[in-house]
A = this chain, B = another copy of it.
Amino acid sequence: MKKEKFLNGIDVERLFEIMNILKKHPELAKFRFRAQNTWMNSWHSRSIVKGFYGAGKEDVSRNFPFIFDNDQPLILTGDNKGPNPLEYILNALAGCMTNSIILQAVIKGIHVEEIESEIEGSFDLRNFLGMRNDNKVPFEGIRIKIRIKGSKISADEKIILSELGKESSPVYKIITDAFPVAVSIEKCPYDD
């Protein structure tokens, strides 16, 4: 009986319990995620991700930080010490849509066997190199191809899952809508 508690590796009872709590206490749905980024040299920077605020309190469940490096490939004068920020965006979108599809499958009681996605972003580097004023350089776009495998999932259900997955993916929404970003320059102690 205990086994049935889980679907697609997710504790269904606990998930539904969380959703019911959030309906009654929407303030607990507010999450604030964070990263701290330090420029190392050239195009190389390093981010540390650990704590976050959620469910009404500061979360301390992570015992260690996640650390990851951004860099550029050799052809862009980088040292290839990590993927570049655009490649991190592609990972975030693919990972988020996979999460959303799994969530929708759990809600519908559908057992998923595999999900794989190939994602490609086309970008014109003139946008980055301050050459945008020369002419209207198009920014291109992202394409994601998703394969969902499940012996009991019909082709139609796969389309429905991916549509619902799009609608409920925060990263899909952040990228396809105009999402607000506020930038501020902090003073250094010795400024002025």
Contacts and interface: CB of A to CB of B under 8 A. Distances in A.
In the complex this chain forms, how many copies of it are found? 2
Interface string A161-181: 010101111111111111111
Most buried by B among A10, A42, A146: A42
A161 to B, nearest CB: 8
A143 interface: yes
Contacts of A31: 122-125
Q: Tell me the dominant secondary structure on chain A's binding face.
A: mixed
Contacts of A179: 139, 141-142, 175-176
B128 A77 contact: no
Contacts of A44: 9
A96 B100 contact: no
Contacts of A37: 91, 94-95, 98, 116-119
B185 A159 contact: yes
